Amino acid sequence: MMATLGCLAVWQETGCRKPDISSPAIVVEHEIAPWPARVGGAIITLRMSYPGGEAIKGASVELEADMSHPGMRPEFGKAREAGGGRYQGRLAFTMAGDWVVLMHIRLHDGTKLERQLEVKGVRANERN
Protein backbone atom coordinates (compact mmCIF):
# COMPACT_ATOMS: atom_id res chain seq x y z
CA MET A 1 0.00 0.00 0.00
CA MET A 2 2.80 2.48 0.94
CA ALA A 3 4.68 1.67 -2.28
CA THR A 4 1.56 2.41 -4.31
CA LEU A 5 1.01 5.73 -2.52
CA GLY A 6 4.68 6.64 -3.00
CA CYS A 7 4.43 5.85 -6.70
CA LEU A 8 1.35 8.01 -7.07
CA ALA A 9 2.97 10.86 -5.15
CA VAL A 10 6.05 10.80 -7.39
CA TRP A 11 3.87 10.56 -10.49
CA GLN A 12 1.80 13.60 -9.51
CA GLU A 13 4.79 15.59 -8.24
CA THR A 14 6.61 15.25 -11.55
CA GLY A 15 3.59 16.34 -13.54
CA CYS A 16 3.67 13.16 -15.57
CA ARG A 17 1.19 12.20 -18.23
CA LYS A 18 -0.48 8.82 -18.19
CA PRO A 19 1.72 6.09 -19.67
CA ASP A 20 0.67 4.32 -22.87
CA ILE A 21 -2.11 1.82 -22.17
CA SER A 22 0.20 -1.10 -23.01
CA SER A 23 3.05 0.14 -20.83
CA PRO A 24 3.85 -0.92 -17.29
CA ALA A 25 3.60 1.65 -14.52
CA ILE A 26 6.94 3.44 -14.41
CA VAL A 27 8.19 5.73 -11.66
CA VAL A 28 10.10 8.73 -13.04
CA GLU A 29 11.79 11.06 -10.54
CA HIS A 30 13.70 14.12 -11.66
CA GLU A 31 16.21 16.75 -10.61
CA ILE A 32 17.20 19.94 -12.39
CA ALA A 33 20.52 21.66 -11.78
CA PRO A 34 20.94 24.45 -11.15
CA TRP A 35 17.84 24.87 -9.02
CA PRO A 36 16.02 27.18 -9.10
CA ALA A 37 16.32 26.93 -12.87
CA ARG A 38 17.93 29.87 -14.67
CA VAL A 39 18.27 30.94 -18.28
CA GLY A 40 21.06 28.92 -19.87
CA GLY A 41 22.19 25.33 -19.66
CA ALA A 42 20.60 22.91 -17.23
CA ILE A 43 21.29 19.29 -16.36
CA ILE A 44 18.20 17.09 -16.13
CA THR A 45 18.67 13.91 -14.09
CA LEU A 46 15.99 11.21 -14.21
CA ARG A 47 15.67 8.12 -12.06
CA MET A 48 13.42 5.51 -13.61
CA SER A 49 12.14 2.38 -11.93
CA TYR A 50 9.30 -0.07 -11.86
CA PRO A 51 6.87 0.33 -8.91
CA GLY A 52 8.74 -2.36 -6.94
CA GLY A 53 11.92 -0.28 -7.09
CA GLU A 54 13.80 -2.21 -9.82
CA ALA A 55 15.94 0.25 -11.80
CA ILE A 56 15.15 0.62 -15.50
CA LYS A 57 18.24 -0.01 -17.61
CA GLY A 58 18.83 0.27 -21.34
CA ALA A 59 16.22 2.94 -22.07
CA SER A 60 16.52 5.71 -24.64
CA VAL A 61 15.39 9.17 -23.46
CA GLU A 62 14.87 12.20 -25.70
CA LEU A 63 14.19 15.56 -24.04
CA GLU A 64 12.16 18.41 -25.48
CA ALA A 65 11.74 21.75 -23.68
CA ASP A 66 8.94 24.09 -24.74
CA MET A 67 7.90 27.48 -23.40
CA SER A 68 4.39 27.40 -21.94
CA HIS A 69 3.27 30.06 -24.43
CA PRO A 70 3.18 29.57 -28.22
CA GLY A 71 5.67 30.94 -30.68
CA MET A 72 8.97 29.85 -29.14
CA ARG A 73 11.30 27.33 -30.72
CA PRO A 74 11.65 24.12 -28.65
CA GLU A 75 15.02 23.02 -27.29
CA PHE A 76 16.10 19.39 -27.61
CA GLY A 77 18.49 17.10 -25.77
CA LYS A 78 19.18 13.47 -25.05
CA ALA A 79 19.53 11.89 -21.63
CA ARG A 80 22.19 9.20 -21.48
CA GLU A 81 22.25 6.29 -19.06
CA ALA A 82 24.48 6.97 -16.06
CA GLY A 83 23.89 3.66 -14.24
CA GLY A 84 21.47 2.39 -11.62
CA GLY A 85 18.39 3.60 -13.49
CA ARG A 86 19.77 7.16 -13.70
CA TYR A 87 19.77 9.13 -16.94
CA GLN A 88 21.30 12.59 -17.46
CA GLY A 89 20.94 15.11 -20.23
CA ARG A 90 21.45 18.79 -20.97
CA LEU A 91 18.87 21.30 -22.07
CA ALA A 92 18.98 25.06 -22.58
CA PHE A 93 16.30 27.33 -21.18
CA THR A 94 16.67 30.23 -23.62
CA MET A 95 14.52 32.75 -21.77
CA ALA A 96 12.90 33.37 -18.40
CA GLY A 97 9.38 32.09 -17.80
CA ASP A 98 7.49 28.81 -17.53
CA TRP A 99 8.70 25.76 -19.44
CA VAL A 100 7.44 22.23 -20.04
CA VAL A 101 9.96 19.41 -20.50
CA LEU A 102 8.68 16.41 -22.43
CA MET A 103 10.48 13.13 -21.91
CA HIS A 104 10.13 10.71 -24.83
CA ILE A 105 11.17 7.35 -23.38
CA ARG A 106 11.70 4.06 -25.18
CA LEU A 107 12.33 1.07 -22.90
CA HIS A 108 14.71 -1.72 -23.92
CA ASP A 109 11.71 -3.87 -24.95
CA GLY A 110 10.47 -1.15 -27.35
CA THR A 111 7.68 0.18 -25.11
CA LYS A 112 7.22 3.92 -25.62
CA LEU A 113 6.33 6.29 -22.78
CA GLU A 114 5.91 10.02 -22.52
CA ARG A 115 6.23 12.04 -19.35
CA GLN A 116 5.86 15.76 -18.80
CA LEU A 117 7.61 17.98 -16.28
CA GLU A 118 6.56 21.57 -15.63
CA VAL A 119 9.43 23.94 -14.83
CA LYS A 120 7.79 27.10 -13.56
CA GLY A 121 9.56 30.39 -13.10
CA VAL A 122 12.86 29.89 -14.91
CA ARG A 123 14.78 32.95 -13.74
CA ALA A 124 16.75 35.46 -15.74
CA ASN A 125 20.46 35.51 -14.99
CA GLU A 126 21.47 38.12 -12.44
CA ARG A 127 23.54 41.02 -13.70
CA ASN A 128 26.20 42.68 -11.59
Whether 21 has a pLDDT exceeding 50, the answer reads: no
Whether 70 has a pLDDT exceeding 90, the answer reads: no
The answer for 83, left when phi > 0, alpha when psi is -120 to 50, beta otherwise, is left
Contact status, residue 4 vs residue 50, Cβ threshold 8 Å: no
Q: Which residue has the higher pLDDT, 86 or 9?
A: 86
* Domains assigned to the chain: 2-122 (2.60.40.1930)
pTM of the model: 0.74
71 pLDDT tier (thresholds 50, 70, 90): confident
Note the pLDDT tens digit of each residue in 22-43.
455 888 999 999 999 999 999 9
- CA distances to 34, 65, 122, 123 from 127, rounded to whole Å, are 17, 25, 15, 12
